[in-house]
């Protein structure tokens, strides 16, 4: 996709972090915006901000884990603007801790948002984009699924999150292959950011009451949260930087989008472990102090 003016972008998680930065770039390029977020007050404020700038925008409170919410979002987008050209399956949450300490509710929450949110977006919006392509030879569409470097690595005490993001990478690669069988007009990418200052480390603020744990967090969950907070808030690459990289990739029809290409060395080592049939290596690479600190904190 080379031209963005007057095109329609649907963005989940659109009221903060990457989603809001996608919206800002889209608005600067003359796009029409359909914003979705589960945090209604933040969504309302974001919509008001764009309306004040004269941007054509609508918003809908959306829990992407619910298929009916994503369907309602698609219906609203089509009613308001008639087409969808860009889809950002971006909403995400985080949870950590030792894998066996995660509850059923932890799994339901994280997989519901991180994985099923993308599944619902792909399942509901892709047919709309393909139908638009069939009607108009000039139509161009693009889907961006937000995964993570945790979709290419398996750092410890992040198992639920890792599983969800590995699944998003696999889903996105499969989508890329499937689209290539039927069209040259709709493309997709997978975004794999590393530690970037966004609101994801505080995503518990939007956890549904029905999926809240009754017991307090375990030691490993508290340690994981503290490490995540520190890593995210110390990140030098901003959400705005990542959003610009993403729009550049859309223009170039590039599939993999990385915020920190230097982290790919650890991905390469993991792949070599797999091909060489070696036991998994240290996902922290040469940062042995991180692993040592984690062990010390967990063993007390």
Residues annotated as part of the active site: 161
Residues 230, 243, 165, 195, Cα dihedral to 10°: -20
Closest CA to 36 of 110, 89, 109: 89
The phi and psi torsions of 254 (rounded to 5 degrees) equal: -85, 140
CB-hemisphere CA count at 13 Å for 281?
Answer: 20
For the beta sheet containing 256-258, the strands, ordered from the edge strand earlier in sequence to the opposite edge, are 57-61, 32-37, 8-12, 86-89, 141-146, 186-192, 256-258
Q: What span, in angstroms and rounded, lies between the C-alpha atoms of 18 and 241? A: 9
Cβ count within 10 A of residue 8: 22
Q: How far is CA 138 from CA 2, 77, 165, 186, 261, in A?
A: 12, 20, 33, 11, 33
């Amino acid at each position: 996709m080379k031209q963005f003016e007057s095109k329609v972008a649907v963005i989940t998680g659109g009221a903060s972090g990457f989603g809001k930065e996608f919206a800002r770039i889209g608005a600067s390029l003359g796009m029409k915006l359909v914003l979705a977020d589960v945090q209604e007050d933040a969504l309302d404020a974001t919509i008001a901000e764009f309306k004040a700038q004269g941007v054509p925008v609508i918003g809908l409170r959306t829990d992407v884990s619910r298929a009916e919410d994503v369907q309602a979002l698609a219906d609203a987008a089509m009613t308001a603007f008639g087409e969808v050209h860009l889809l950002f399956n971006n909403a995400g949450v985080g949870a950590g801790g030792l894998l066996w300490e995660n509850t059923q509710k932890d799994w339901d929450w994280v997989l519901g948002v991180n994985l099923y949110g993308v599944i619902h977006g792909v399942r509901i919006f892709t047919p709309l984009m393909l139908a638009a392509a069939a009607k108009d030879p000039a139509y161009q569409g693009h889907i961006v699924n937000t995964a993570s470097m945790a979709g290419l690595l398996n750092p410890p005490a992040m198992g639920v999150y890792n599983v969800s993001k590995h699944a998003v990478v696999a889903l996105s690669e499969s989508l890329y292959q499937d689209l290539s069988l039927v069209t040259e007009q709709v493309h997709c990418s997978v975004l794999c950011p590393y530690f970037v200052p966004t609101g994801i480390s505080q995503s518990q603020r939007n956890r549904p009451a029905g999926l809240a744990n009754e017991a307090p967090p375990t030691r490993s969950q508290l340690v994981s949260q503290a490490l995540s907070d520190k890593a995210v808030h110390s990140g030098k690459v901003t959400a705005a930087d990542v959003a610009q990289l993403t729009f550049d990739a859309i223009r170039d029809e590039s599939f993999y989008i990385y915020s920190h290409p230097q982290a790919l060395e650890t991905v390469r080592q993991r792949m070599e472990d797999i091909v060489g049939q070696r036991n998994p290596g240290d996902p922290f690479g040469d940062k042995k102090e991180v692993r040592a600190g984690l062990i010390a904190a967990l063993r007390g």
